[in-house]
């Protein structure tokens, strides 16, 4: 009987130790963050960035709908350069396609005409071609 009690105490000690190790691992992970190997690098955007003020206003315009995007594009036309300008106009064309398919097609055709084959948005233009033609 004493051997059985000793064996049960040993099993309980091993189980308790394993729970303690697991708890320590979780606590350590929460305080230090994930290991470097698990941290994912931010995706590299091949498109040139907009100034922070324009990024914020662009996000607001996208949330504001088609008319807000149209106004934003008209107001900021001079500050935009391809390929970022083409990407923004493609977003606008996709927003516009339900309300004004002909207008969306005009915007798409303008972007397609000025987008060279090596552009970062060329693949997107090619994929959207089926939608607008």
Q: Kindly tell me if the per-residue pLDDT of 44 is higher than 50.
A: no
Per-residue pLDDT tens over the stretch 47-83: 666 777 788 788 888 888 888 888 888 888 877 877 7
Residue 61, classified by CB atoms within 10 Å of its CB into exposed (0-12), middle (13-18) or buried (19+), is: buried
Under the banding of pLDDT at 50, 70 and 90, the label for residue 33 is: low
Query: Per-residue pLDDT averaged across 35-55, rounded?
Result: 59
Q: The whole model's pTM is what?
A: 0.61
**What was the pLDDT predicted at 40?**
46
**Domain segments of the chain: what residues?**
2-37, 52-132
**What was the pLDDT predicted at 12?**
93
Per-residue pLDDT tens over the stretch 83-110: 788 888 888 888 888 888 888 888 888 8
Distance CA 5, CA 9 (A): 6
């Amino acid at each position: 009987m004493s051997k059985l009690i000793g064996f049960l105490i040993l099993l309980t000690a091993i189980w308790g130790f394993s729970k303690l190790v697991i708890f320590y691992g979780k606590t350590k992970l929460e305080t230090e963050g994930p290991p470097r190997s698990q941290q994912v690098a931010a995706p590299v955007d091949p498109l040139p960035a907009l100034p922070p003020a324009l990024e914020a206003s662009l996000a607001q315009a996208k949330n504001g709908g088609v008319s807000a995007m149209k106004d934003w594009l008209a107001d900021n036309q001079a500050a935009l350069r391809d390929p970022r300008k083409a990407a923004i106009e493609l977003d606008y064309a996709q927003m516009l396609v339900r309300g004004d398919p002909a207008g969306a097609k005009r915007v798409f055709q303008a972007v397609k005409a000025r987008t060279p084959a090596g552009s970062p948005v060329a693949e997107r233009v090619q994929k959207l071609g089926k939608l607008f033609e």
